[in-house]
Chains A and B, each alone.
Chain A
Amino acid sequence: MSSERRIEVPVLTRVEGEGALYVHIDGTRVADLRLNIFEPPRFFEKFLEGRSWKEIPDMVARICGICPVAYQMSAVHAIEAAFGARITPAIRRLRRLYYCGEWMESHSLHIHLLAAPDFLGYPDAMALAQDQPGIVRRGLRLQGLGNAILSTMGGRSVHPVGARVGGFYRAPDQAEAVALLARLRAAAQDAEDLVRWTAGLKLPDVTRQAPFVSLRHASEYPMNEGAIVSSEGLNISAAEFDAHVMEHQVPHSTALHALINGKPYWVGPLARLNNNLTHLPPHTLRLAEQTGIHWPSANPYHSIVARALEIHFALHESIAILEHYTPPGEPFVEITPRAGAGAWCTEAPRGILWQRYEMDGEGLVKKSRIVPPTSQNQAQMEADLRASVEENLSLHDDDLRARLEAGIRNYDPCISCSTHFLNLMLKRT
């Protein structure tokens, strides 16, 4: 009798974008494991060439319907760096508020609609809601609150129209800020309860070794600014990113795999939290300690708790920004295009998102590069899945398949995002 087993997940569900998983087990050994990404390539970097700086924030938003703000933020900062533009502290605070909205929306959506059904034995959140409506409705309320921040800043939550290079087209007026503040304050208990609820889920106890990579800022929990650091001592600026990160193509994926100094690494909420515990505000840190998890954690299943803690953080950060808000005189600084290059990295909900632009003197893009978080996580995801297969050989195929799918969802892969990149191959020749 052959000891060979083949596990296939032809279409990954409850992830953003299109992927599949193929595993070939030979005895107790993983002979082959491939996270197939067959999301069609859309060639963003190529058709950004020749476009005006004014158009870029609206274009790159379309890379991802779940995290358009992240694409807008890395782009506007990178182009401002290329043009030598400096934003005001008031604009900086508004950008942070805007990003808080996206973290809350994206994390709440992931926790409740994509991940939680795995841990409670349901095929989807709609079925979960029939038995536990309070849990799902609380999640949808927090998601709605994130969306409310985005809609206040940019008119709508998917592809908001408010952001521009230099700031925002329009800043919220006092009445909008007051209304939003009241809604946020009313949700404080929801955010706290959510953390405790995720910490109470029955989560597998596993450990994965890979460097945690995130931004780190001198005094804040990172969003728009900071050095790129790793738990193994890397500390570089965005301009140095491409000297350390190598991307390469694998036959089974339209997303390129990224390695830092030749090794897989891990980005996202868990990596970010692990690297920035000392920058959590005291009440979020206290809540983190009360979960009973020993931080920093190398268990990818703790990502759902990290997401809940970041929702708690983002909610209170938004409240703090709005409590001291007065509409700025000008919501944007004037932009004067000049020839040059700029690179920037911000913290998308799923991890660091790096972009680089070369602009001409007219303000048109000569060249662009975009490295999204999911392509950075792909090598680590495959390493994690290999370990999961080896730890769970005794499971029947269906259970093993479910376990691996849950393992993929821990990373919240945003597959639509991950299929348009740069050409690092050119750099190697």
Chain B
Amino acid sequence: MTGRLRIAVHKFASCDGCQIQFLNLEQDLLTLASRAEIAHFAEASSVMQPGPYDVSFVEGSISTSADLQRIQEIRAASRLLITIGACATAGGLQALRNWKNHDEFVRAIYARSEYIDSLARSTPVSEHVKVDAELWGCPIDQQQLKRVLSDVLARIAPRIPGESVCLECKRAGHVCVLVAGDVPCLGPVTRTGCGALCPRYERDCYGCFGPQEDGNTRALGRRFREMGLSDADIVRRLRFINGWAPAFRAGAQVWEK
């Protein structure tokens, strides 16, 4: 195959932090621009080319009726669709609305709710279209992003590790905050990728990379119970940035009255 890859970055409901991780690639951003055509990236450029795209990176969750249509169009225009971040991959922190009364939220914040286009639930892209790869994290990790970019530039399927962050944490030699510090660390059930930051900063992991492939959220909940957390504490622990991810959703459900 010849020609430079055409890359697009699209945004839905989000904080823009995963797009910022592209902009924070610093000198590597210029390298990327020299090796691929950045065809559509509204936050970075005023030039917005229409599809088709070789790879679309999608940030943000699906949360309005307009989003439902736009994600279909993006899927149709993209050979590969890769979600970036907790919002696109699991619904994001704003998926906390999924357990609440959405209409009451709208009315509480806006005087004229009829002007507001907002769905009752904030959902991941994969609930609406086929997704080719998911880059987890809130925000995504730049090393993982660079590996995925290298994979797509080499035209091979992106490889994203699914093991627990605990393994990375042990390899780095951090003191286990769960065992030694008696704090409710989510590391055992959380996916690797951040560099085991929270234990390095002497605190508990809060699961911002989402569930690892084989975690036992139920068992970890029992451990938290033994440590003195209330049922409500355990629910809040799992129902957080990736709370709508199935493994965390099920793990929290166990402790809900």
Chain A interface, number of residues (Cβ within 8 angstroms) = 73
**What is the CA–CA distance of A124 and B47 in the complex, to the nearest angstrom?**
8
Residues of B within 8 Å of A248, CB to CB, are: 111
Interface residues of A in 256-287 (CB under 8 A from B): 256
Contact of A13 among B43, B111, B206 (CB under 8 A): B43
> Is A376 interfacial (CB-CB < 8 Å)?
no
Contact B46 A124 (CB under 8 A): yes
Q: Is the CB of A416 within 8 A of B14?
A: yes
A51 to B13, CA, bound (A): 22
User: Which of B91-99, B127-135, B157-165, B246-254 lies at the binding interface?
Assistant: B91-99
A155 to B139, CA, bound (A): 12
User: A41, B197: Cβ atoms under 8 Å?
Assistant: no
Kindly list chain B residues whose C-beta atoms are within 8 Å of the C-beta of A58.
Answer: 206, 240-241
Q: Which of B21-29, B50-58, B73-81, B211-219 contacts A (4 or more CB under 8 A)?
A: B21-29
Whether B45 and A14, one on each chain, are in contact in the complex, defined by CB atoms closer than 8 angstroms, is yes
Q: Does A170 sit at the interface, judged by CB under 8 A?
A: yes
Verify B15–A65 contact, CB threshold 8 A.
Answer: yes
Whether the pair A157, B24 counts as a contact (CB closer than 8 A) is: yes
* Alpha-carbon distance between A129 and B112 when the two chains are bound, in angstroms: 46
| Contact between A140 and B27, CB atoms less than 8 A apart | yes
Given A113-B44, A124-B46, A65 and B18 contact (CB-CB distance below 8 Å): yes
For the side of the interface on B, what is the size category? Answer: 35 or more
B19 interface residue per 8 A CB criterion: yes
Chain B residues with CB below 8 A from A320, complex form: none
Interface assignment of A422: CB less than 8 Å from any CB of chain B: yes
Collect the chain B residues with CB atoms within 8 Å of residue A40's CB: 12-13, 63-64, 67, 117-118
Complex contact A124–B30 (CB within 8 A): no
Chain A residues contacting B90 (CB-CB under 8 Å) are none
Give the complex CA separation of A107 and B29 in angstroms. 18
* Distance (whole angstroms) from the CB of A14 to the closest CB of chain B: 6
Distance in angstroms between the alpha carbons of A423 and B112 in the assembled complex:
11
Known: A42-B94, A147-B24, A159-B138. A17 touches B106 (CB 8 A): no
CB-CB contacts of B144-170 with A at 8 A, as 1s and 0s? 000000000000000000000000000
Question: Which residues does A use to contact B, with CB under 8 Å?
Answer: 11-18, 38-47, 51-52, 55, 58-59, 62-66, 68, 105, 109, 113, 117, 123-127, 129, 133, 136-137, 140-141, 143-144, 147, 154-159, 161-162, 164, 169-170, 248-249, 251-252, 254, 256, 405, 416-417, 420-423, 425-426
User: What are the 8 closest A-B residue pairs judged by CB atoms, nearest first?
Assistant: A65-B17, A124-B45, A155-B197, A126-B33, A47-B96, A425-B111, A42-B94, A40-B13
Q: Which of B's residues lie within 8 Å of A, judged by CB?
A: 11-21, 23-24, 26-27, 29-30, 33, 38, 42-48, 63-64, 66-67, 92-94, 96-97, 100, 105-106, 108-112, 115-118, 122, 138-139, 194-195, 197-198, 200-203, 206, 208, 233, 236, 240-241
A-B contact pairs, 10 of them (CB 8 A): A43-B109, A46-B100, A47-B100, A58-B241, A59-B93, A65-B14, A124-B47, A126-B33, A254-B116, A405-B46
